[in-house]
Amino acid sequence: MQYRRAFSPGGSFFFTVVTDKRRAIFTTAEAVETLREAFRNVRRSRPFEIDAMVVMPDHLHCIWTLPPGDADFATRWRLIKTWFTKHYVPILRPKHEQALWQHRYWEHLLRDEDDFARHVDYIHYNPVKHGLAKSPIDWPYSSFRRHVEAGTYPADWGRGPMNFENTGHE
């Protein structure tokens, strides 16, 4: 089967990126900071906006908006994964374990404002969905607080059950 990716210059995309064998490698502030540095490093040479993001122990979800005329998210992901793998503290990675990432990732071209908003909600609710937090505000590795400060959400948003049928991908 030939896999086809959606390329849309200047588009906004939802991504799910999973660790190899679903290993929980993002369980420390140090590991998450290394991932943040990978993003900062790549964004210096290949800019893009991170509209929303959550880092879970074994996967991450994010929404990027690419610059006008640019549809190359694939190179950015390759560079982020490579940078993180090279800089990830070796003691945290067993010597016999080479791969840190699944080879592929899930991407979805966001079609309109409603699709965008549903995926932002999905991202921020993910720690609650997985039982890691009682509320999105309680999860430290998320853009949720930034969105609260911007007035997008009230601080107590997401405390109850929510329906995300046909949104996101694990």
Tokens of 6: 């959606």
Percent of all residues in the chain with a pLDDT value above 90, rounded to a whole number: 77
- Residue 123's alpha-carbon distances to 52, 67, 118, 147, in angstroms, are 7, 22, 9, 12
Active site residue 105: no
Catalytic residue among 105, 122, 125, 141: 141
Percent of all residues in the chain with a pLDDT value above 70, rounded to a whole number: 88
What is the amino acid identity at position 168? G
Q: What mean pLDDT is predicted for residues 67-86?
A: 95
pLDDT in tens, 42-61: 999 999 999 999 999 999 99
Sequential DSSP letters for 70-81: ---HHHHHHHHH
pLDDT in tens, 109-152: 999 999 999 999 999 999 999 999 999 999 999 999 999 999 99
**Is 104:110 a contact under the CB 8 Å cutoff?**
no
3-class secondary structure per residue, 102-128: CCCCEEEECCCHHHHHHHHHHHHHHHH
Which pLDDT value is given to residue 164? 74
